Amino acid sequence: MTISEYRKLCQKNESENYLLDKLIFRKISIFITILFIKLKITSNQATFLSLLAALASLYFLAFNTRFALITAAFLIFSYYMLDHVDGELARFAIQTGARQPNLKGHYFDVLVHRYSTNLMVFFIGISIYNLYGYKLAVILGFMACIGISSFPNVIAAQVIAGKIANNKQLIFDDPALAAILAELETKKEQIHAVHHGSTVQKLKKLIIESLFFPGHIILLLLVLLADAFWPGFATFNLRLVFLLGFTLLYTVKTIIQSIIWIAKLKKIS
């Protein structure tokens, strides 16, 4: 089987909803996926490996040696690559009839993904505290950690799920609820922007991805490597700049998301 054939079977292709993934990460992940297929590693096992890489990175993120920073960057890159590989393995297994679609693997994957990058940013705060003694850095790391988790969306989904569980007919009777359910899942709009959007739409999406997900992972990798090879990082630390910027950005995002959800949920009967 050729690389192109593996891509057709394993990757999202026309369903890809992130430009940065399409342009960068999918170009690499397929080769790891093919290796895992040959080694008979399952999608859930790949997800577990991504979890181990994410957790291991937290240990090294807390330190300030060149070795620790480079190792942390490598582990974070491995985590995000495996985050692509597990989905590609699942699609391969489904397409070849080796397994039936189910939500168990998807839940495990989302669970790992939800609590990985935000903890990484929190441990950046710990490393800055270890380097400078800034207690505020730990607080900033915690704030950024909460912001990256997108908890307003998670809480809104929980509230809406509870409402539907108590009255399933609301899905059909309440137009406001139906509209909000459609807004919770934004993949269709993302896919359209990636594959059929205008140049302006694609540029806008690229900017948003660069500031938020998955761009913040790329930026974190670059910051770690820059600090690792910058001899004066003890006096000028890019991770501190990164933490300040992301704490502000994600705190503002969280506040705006919360206000928007409160306004939307008022419309549900």
Tens of pLDDT along 86-144?
999 999 999 888 887 777 888 888 888 888 999 999 999 999 999 889 899 999 999 99
Q: Which domains, and CATH codes, for the chain? A: 3-265 (1.20.120.1760)
Give 150-170 pLDDT, tens digit per residue: 888 888 888 888 878 887 777
Check residue 194 and give its pLDDT. 86
Cα–Cα dist 162/157, whole Å: 9
Residue 183: band (very low, low, confident or very high) from pLDDT cuts 50, 70, 90 = low
> pTM higher than 0.85 for the full model?
yes
pLDDT in tens, 195-216: 888 889 889 999 999 988 899 9
CA proximity to 258, closest of 189, 159, 122: 159
Average pLDDT, the chain: 88
| 255 contacts 262 by C-beta, under 8 angstroms | no
Residue 197 vs residues 13, 123, 186, 213, 214: alpha-carbon distances, Å: 15, 37, 15, 19, 19
